Chain A
Amino acid sequence: MTAKVILHVGAPKTGTSYVQDLLFTHREELAAAGTLYPADRFDAHFLAALDLMELQWGGLEKQAVGAWDRLAEQVRGWDGTVIVSHEILATATPTQVRRAFASFGDGVEVHVVLSARDLVRQIPAEWQENVKHRRVVGYRDFLDKITDPARKGTLASWFWGVQEVPDILDRWGSSLPASQVHVVTVPPPGAPRGLLWERFASVFGLDAATYAKPSGRDNPSMGVPETALIRRINERVNNGVLANEDYRQFVRELLAHQHLSRRTGSPRLTLPPDVRAWAEDLSETWIKVLAAKGYDVVGSLDDLRPAPASRSEAEASFADPDAPDEDQVAEASLDAIVTLLQENARLQAREHALREDVHAAHRELDRVRGLWFRVKRRLVREADGNAVLGRALSFYRRVRGSSSRSA
């Protein structure tokens, strides 16, 4: 029987992909040591999360049918500790949390883990995630929506659903002892690179050094002109121009993740001074609420306090993605064009190779089918341009019935 389930429920943009990739990379060693990460790919629990929360996700939800129940079955079948991790679980409602807990069976010790980063870094990152998911909302519009206390609309409700740390922990942790609710804080900028993994490892009950093989997986951020460029691309390719699967492959993965996020010289996304002040106040409220709850904090709640900056410093560091430097956007666009040309050339070479394979297969098929088949096919082709032959073929097909097919 499973002794312990550790549910890592978010938040997005707190190193979750990195952690999931480490767990996936080491899944066999972990299993040998008694800890199961039940996954056939690093983000395998995404589909289970869609199923649990009945979420649509650009057509991917069709692959999610029954995924949570299958995951729960794996959990119940493991004799030891199981780790489940996906950041969109943060949005689960209390009803869905109850269903998740019940699915693990009786007598299981459930732990909930939420990794959290300060709001001043999270808010721009969330807008960028929105842009990378085809949204065309401008930055100021996004900020206005999330700072509106009414929280109306899907954009604001999603943001708060995945980013409001005290509320997420309330929803996931209210039926658990505080000692089984863990807040892993993301260290401030400049901290040692391995520190975040050490914090996660301590919650998972793992030796950080043993499983510290570097992961190539992360979810890097783009700068201001690059994000502005993707948003403009969205405006051109949405509404039927580019299917979701093509968007994922060419815009999100190829352009955003593999190329534009590697351009490090451009200005980074930050908060304008007015929103920064609001986020600083809200962070103080959260820190107080979390401290009062007595959760197990791995790291320090101080990490959730944005790095101090005066208003003039905030103003100086702010580059507005709604009015970006057009020269920088043009530079990013040229890089994007080159990337797409290279990809086009690669795909074309691949297509040529595949065509050659198909032709070779046809030649081999003809050789096997023999002379009579080749004569019939020739007659059918000739019938396209010869009226007598065409009528004869039509008559032949009527006599033969509708099942007759061209060669």
Chain B
Amino acid sequence: MRKFYLTSLLVLLSLVTSFAQDRQFFTGFFPEAALTKIIKNDQKIIFKIEHQDIFYNNSGDQKDELQFTHYRTDLMGFYDFKLNPTKSIAFGVFHRIQEGANANRIIQQFAAVNRLRRLKLAHRFRTDQTFTKGDPLEIRLRYRLATEIPLSGSTLDPGEHYLVLSNEPIFSLQGGEFEIENRLVFSLGKLIASSQKLEWSLDYRTDKFIQEGFRTRLWAKVGYFYSF
């Protein structure tokens, strides 16, 4: 565990120093929690909250100052319907609280989680439409590939740790302009009980590849997932 924290700190520091030089960069703390209510065998409702606070920003009003600035809080709810034990579709609504940029979004999702011999492999395809006051409609297409690898034995049992690696390219179209974002996440998790997971993650986001103002964001995440 100590090795994980040291490695995470080194990755964080090296990324901060390399990217803070000439690009827009900010970093901070990102707690998230998801509660899943299983309605029937094949249907569930998920409520999720994500919250982002900035600790350091190399641009803006508090440029290069250590800070604790609220960036955004996202609230979302999904209705998830299983097509079979490995595939599901979901529809979601989303509300964002962000100074001057409150937004609403509707989400459509198809996901497939495959159990391989020693890991899980999850594919997630999403489309979403975001409505922000004063801005044109934003339409996005996203694909996330994630793998979960148990660290003790070949299956994940309660009390054991696991790793998650995921990457998600996001393609967006807003007001006739095309843009790409990428999200790379490395997590260490613990299956606390059969229905509870806790994860510590580094979430590295890059966007504005096409438009001006290439931006990177690095988040230290803590995530809690509970099903009942």
Q: Do A and B bind each other?
A: no
Residues of A near any B CB (own CB < 8 A): none
Binding site for A on B (CB under 8 A): none
